[in-house]
Amino acid sequence: MLLHEFRPGRLILGLAALAIAALFAGDAAGAWSVAWFAALPVLGGALGLASIASWTAYRIRRRAARRASSDSTGAPASSSGSQAMR
């Protein structure tokens, strides 16, 4: 049993943040040189991909919930007695 539902958008943004951190860590260590604005296209692309992934996951969850709620077991809505109005 999972503790929480899977969020692919957050995964993509987290991986992009790690990639940006690795780029600037390599720059700080002197392994390579990275311009300060190099993070902008990476972050912009990650935001776009994360929004598409989040929207797709939402649609999949919504479709599964609708399919589960439309299943009829044949039982009445309530079997506790009279449904008379007051």
| Cα 70 versus chain centre, distance | 25
CA 26 to each of CA 12, 23, 42, 52, 62: distance values in angstroms, whole numbers, following the listed order: 21, 5, 16, 30, 42
Per residue in 20-29, pLDDT (tens digit) is 999 999 999 9
Contact 34, 24 (CB under 8 A): yes
pLDDT above 60 for 38: yes
Nearest to 26 by CA among 18, 12, 46, 11: 18
CA 18 to each of CA 15, 38, 76: distance values in angstroms, whole numbers, following the listed order: 5, 14, 53
pLDDT above 80 for 51: yes
Question: What's the average model confidence in pLDDT over 35-57?
Answer: 95
% pLDDT > 70, the chain:
79
Q: Considering the chain, what is the average pLDDT of its residues? A: 86
Question: What's the average model confidence in pLDDT over 46-53?
Answer: 97
pLDDT value of residue 64: 85
Tell me the whole-structure pTM to 2 decimals: 0.72
